[in-house]
Structure 1
């Protein structure tokens, strides 16, 4: 429930929650947030082990998407790493491998180190097909660093197809540029509708 609904861990110590669980089952022994955290971490470790086994059984290649963003008010950077692969049943699977904090500065060296550590941690560095990133100049440099650290023989066409541009990001840039061109007209229509 805590994971499913993103409730805070301290919820298990709230008096209202304890009254609710007591009304359902008077013999239920309340747990602490430390116990809840330990149980969640245990669930994570079981899920991680299961995903490691699944990734180990993948016969084909694994595509990776990664995105980086910075929280405006804190200047803290976060990166996600997601795997995409076809399983034994020929079903497309997508699994979040990592959601992590990346320390400043958010340059190509730090980003490539964080991403490479994730690839190594999940044992997918030898099964990569492509890496899909947005069109940031830092990402171009990051790709060069990663290609230097990965074995070219393990990549398709020695890594010439390794970097794929994110089509959604490109489409977003096109739409923003188009909306900038017609912004004045949209404002006039908005004003006339409001009038």
Structure 2
């Protein structure tokens, strides 16, 4: 339940939760926060082992996507890496294989270290097909460093198709640039809508009509 709904570990210490469990099943012994944490890590290790076995048995290539995420409250940067592959039953699979805090500064060398550590951890550097990243200069430099470190790996077309740019991010940049061009017009429309929907003068005019 905690993993599925991302509840805080401190939930097991809440008095309301204790009263609820006491009513639902008085004989149930609520675990401590530390016990809950160790149980979650044990489940993680078990699921990671299953996924590693699946990746090792898979005979096809693995495509990766990566994205940077910054928490709003702590302003810390995290990177997520997702693997996509077609299993031996010809079913498309996607798994998040890494979600980790990345200390500042978020340089290309730092991102490359995180990526290589992930590849070695899952032992998939020899099965890569493509890596899809956002269209920014840091990622471009990271890809160049990564290709130099993977020079002895049998990449498709010698790595010419390894770097894939995220089309959704490119479209987002295009739309934002277009909105910047017509920002004055948009602001006038917003002001007009705001006036006609909330202005007392508009309400007085409607009453007179």
TM-score by length of 1: 0.94
User: Structure 1 residues 103-112 or 44-53, which shifts more?
Assistant: 103-112
CA gap of 1:166–1:100, structure 2 versus 1, over 3 A, is same
Distance in 2, Cα, partners of 1:133 & 1:30? 43
2:11–2:17 contact (8 Å) kept in structure 1: yes
SS in 2 for 1:154: coil
1:13–1:31 contact (8 Å) kept in structure 2: no
User: Aligned ranges for residues 60-71 of structure 1 at < 5 Å?
Assistant: 60-71=60-71
1:84–1:95 contact (8 Å) kept in structure 2: yes
Distance in 2, Cα, partners of 1:37 & 1:89? 35
Distance in 1, Cα, partners of 2:38 & 2:96? 21
**In the alignment, does 2:89 pair up with 1:89?**
yes
SS in 2 for 1:42: helix
2:125–2:153 contact (8 Å) kept in structure 1: no
Shift of 1:44: 0.5
Structure 1's unaligned 5+ residue stretches are: none
Distance in 1, Cα, partners of 2:69 & 2:27? 46
User: Structure 1 residues 110-119 or 142-151, which shifts more?
Assistant: 142-151
SS in 2 for 1:98: strand
1:152–1:159 contact (8 Å) kept in structure 2: no
Distance in 2, Cα, partners of 1:60 & 1:191? 55
**Equivalent residue for 2:203?**
none
Distance in 2, Cα, partners of 1:36 & 1:74? 24
TM-score by length of 2: 0.88
**In the alignment, does 2:45 pair up with 1:26?**
no
CA RMSD of superposed structures (Å): 1.5
SS in 2 for 1:17: helix
Shift of 1:176: 0.5
Deviation string, structure 1 residues 69-108 (Cα, Å, up to 9, x no partner): 4446755321111101111222211110011011222111
2:66–2:133 contact (8 Å) kept in structure 1: yes
CA gap of 1:4–1:84, structure 2 versus 1, over 3 A, is same
Shift of 1:129: 0.3
User: Structure 1 residues 101-110 or 48-57, which shifts more?
Assistant: 101-110
Deviation string, structure 1 residues 48-69 (Cα, Å, up to 9, x no partner): 0111111112221101001124
Shift of 1:139: 1.0
Shift of 1:180: 1.2
**Equivalent residue for 1:56?**
56
